[in-house]
Chains A and B, each alone.
Chain A
Amino acid sequence: MIGGWLKRLSGAEDGLGAAITGGRMRVLSGWARGAEDTAMPSRQVGPMPWVIAIMVAMSVVAAASGLAMRNIAQAARTDLAGGVTVQILEGRPELRARQAAAAAELLRQQPGVSNVHQVPQAEVDQLLAPWLGGDVADGVPVPALIDATLDGTPDAARLATLGRVLHGVAPAARIDAQSAWLGPVFGAIASAQWLAAALIVALAAALAAVVLLATRTALGNHAETITIVHMLGGTDPQVARIFQRLIGIDAALGALAGFAGGLLAIMLLGRRVADLEAGLLAGGMLGWADWLALALVPLFATVLAIVTARLSVLGALRRML
């Protein structure tokens, strides 16, 4: 038996000999898939996928909220772009009506002014009814309203010029840019968007921390195997790739579950908002680009987990010989 093996070893002509003599000649730059498959257990065991799922679900909801608010703000800005409202602040109804008609007519003649629309008094009364009561408007002097659209931005200088022109036919006229009224709303929306972004960043940081802890635990659990792999000539990137795969699989599973949960929450929330039939909120519908952006959340989470695992493992291995 020994003689046979020695013959083969010396001759290096069949399987054993060829592998022994060729073992170092066939060194490849990467780690063969077989080594990755076998050196470590195929899956980590622990709560990490579930934690990642929860974080991804929260990130998806936060991202969807931020995108919806951005859409609301954009829709409102588009609707109100160039929009101005002329108020006729006259207590006497006849004079108010006369000035309103004259102001509307004058506006129609102005260059760069379009969509001039005098809001019917009945519509104004209806708007005020929730605050003043159905029949109170009869006894309260309510301003006449004229909506119009200016070409370009209704800046202060342009409004002042128009105001002076209007005062010639309607001394009680006051002109305001509609966007100015919604300035605080836009501010609140912007704040909410920043909050959503900060929440996503915080969740990403927490996810990285979870992966870091899981990786360190895994490194501790497999320290002996890592030492053996090192002693057999395994490189740090080879070891790191094993952990990348372990963590990446768990992270991908968790991220997909979290994405599904997040989508479910968004759909339920969207249905509730749609039931409100509120004009401003209707502009918050998510478009295909928004859904695509949301689909990137689990992908980003998985990549973040893999990168965190790699950096963490390489950092830990550098402390070993």
Chain B
Amino acid sequence: MTTSDTGEIAQFDSVGLRYGTDREVLSDVSFTLFRGCFYFLTGASGAGKTSLLKLLYLSQRPSRGNIRLFGADAITLPRDRLPGFRRRVGVVFQDFRLVPHLSAFDNVALPLRIAGVAEADVTQAVGDMLDWVGLADRMHARPATLSGGEQQRVAIARAVIGRPDLLVADEPTGNVDPEMAVKLLRLFEALNRLGTTVVVATHDVHLLQKVPDCLIMRLDKGRLGDPTGALRFPPRRPGQQP
């Protein structure tokens, strides 16, 4: 039985991360993410939120410690197995990272096309997704012609279109109006209810109040706090194994 069979999506054990010879940006970070939970990762700017997310979506290897993702050792994971794991993680980058020469439609379609989904299904799914995030009339626009909020919605649509097991979002509502922020949170919650584990990094404390069952991780100068104790004693979800 793999670790993920028991409901654990990710396990960090005494993880440290430093870039080059600088001081550690993450120190002794240990936690477990459970399937179907909704996490907020908070902390001041520079606390290490983005670095922690990078470790989660396998963009970075830690300097020390152990990470298990979907039941596999992420430290020793061979290169050729990385894509399979990455397809299970949807990422909303803080700087959106849209492909500049692609339209909004093609950006959102990219994960499905990479995964080899039939073009007819891609067209339908992407069209519906863009319609839902309110960009149906902008589907042919390039990122450079979209506003910051529109780009963010495209980035979110791209991250969730493949219904990932783990959704990692770095400040996903930073550039949208409050109404759209709530709407996007509802999307994350909907995915969460379907079993997707959601990790949202934010410094907006008001956002936390809008998701009642969320678990909160707090980073302070690279060290992880557990203010509610939920990380140590996560609430059980219906159907979740102990």
Contacts and interface: CB of A to CB of B under 8 A. Distances in A.
Contact of B112 (A8, A23, A30, A224): A23
Contacts of A236: 79-80
B128 interface: yes
Contacts, number: 144
Interface string B106-137: 10011111111111011011111100100000
A233 to B, nearest CB: 3
A194 interface: no
Given A9-B190, A225-B99, A228-B99, A34 B121 contact: no
B163 interface: yes
Contact of B121 (A18, A27, A235): A18
Q: Interface on chain B toward A: helix, strand, loop, or mixed SS?
A: helix
A14 B164 CA distance: 18
Interface string B46-61: 0000000000011111
Contacts of A32: 113-114, 116-119
Interface string A1-41: 11001101110001110111111101111111011001101
B99 A2 contact: no
A232 B86 contact: yes
Contact of B116 (A2, A27, A225, A230): A27
Contacts of A31: 113-114, 116
A295 interface: no
Nearest to A18: B121
Given A19-B124, A233-B83, A233-B87, A321 B110 contact: no
A19 B161 contact: yes
B125 A15 contact: yes
A16 B125 contact: yes
A39 B101 CA distance: 8
Contacts of B112: 19, 23
B115 A27 contact: yes
Contact of B111 (A5, A29, A233, A238): A233
A39 B114 CA distance: 9
A91 interface: no
Contacts of A10: 190, 193-194
A38 B106 contact: yes
A15 B127 contact: yes
B88 interface: yes
B115 A23 contact: yes
Contact of A18 (B97, B109, B125, B126): B125
Interface size class of A (residues with CB under 8 A): 35 or more
Given A1-B132, A5-B132, A26-B115, A20 B161 contact: yes
B121 A233 contact: no
B61 A321 contact: yes
Contacts of B58: 321
B129 A16 contact: yes
A28 B61 contact: no
A16 B128 contact: yes
Given A34-B109, A225-B99, A230-B86, A26 B117 contact: yes
A11 B138 CA distance: 27
A318 interface: yes
B125 A20 contact: yes
Contacts of B16: none
Nearest to B182: A2
A233 B116 contact: no
B59 A35 contact: no
Contact of B117 (A23, A30, A41): A23
B91 interface: yes
Nearest to B57: A231
A134 interface: no
B181 interface: no
A19 B121 contact: yes
A168 interface: no
B44 interface: no
A24 B129 contact: no
Given A20-B161, A21-B163, A15 B121 contact: yes
Interface in B69-87: 79-80, 82-84, 86-87
A229 interface: yes
A228 B110 CA distance: 10
A234 interface: yes
A20 B193 CA distance: 14
Contact of A24 (B115, B122, B124): B115
Nearest to A5: B132
3 closest residue pairs by CB, A with B: A19-B125, A28-B116, A15-B124
13 contacts: A1-B132, A15-B125, A19-B121, A20-B160, A22-B117, A23-B125, A28-B115, A28-B116, A39-B99, A231-B86, A232-B86, A232-B158, A233-B84
Given A15-B125, A27-B115, A229-B110, 9 more contacts: A15-B127, A16-B129, A23-B162, A26-B118, A32-B119, A232-B111, A232-B114, A235-B83, A321-B59
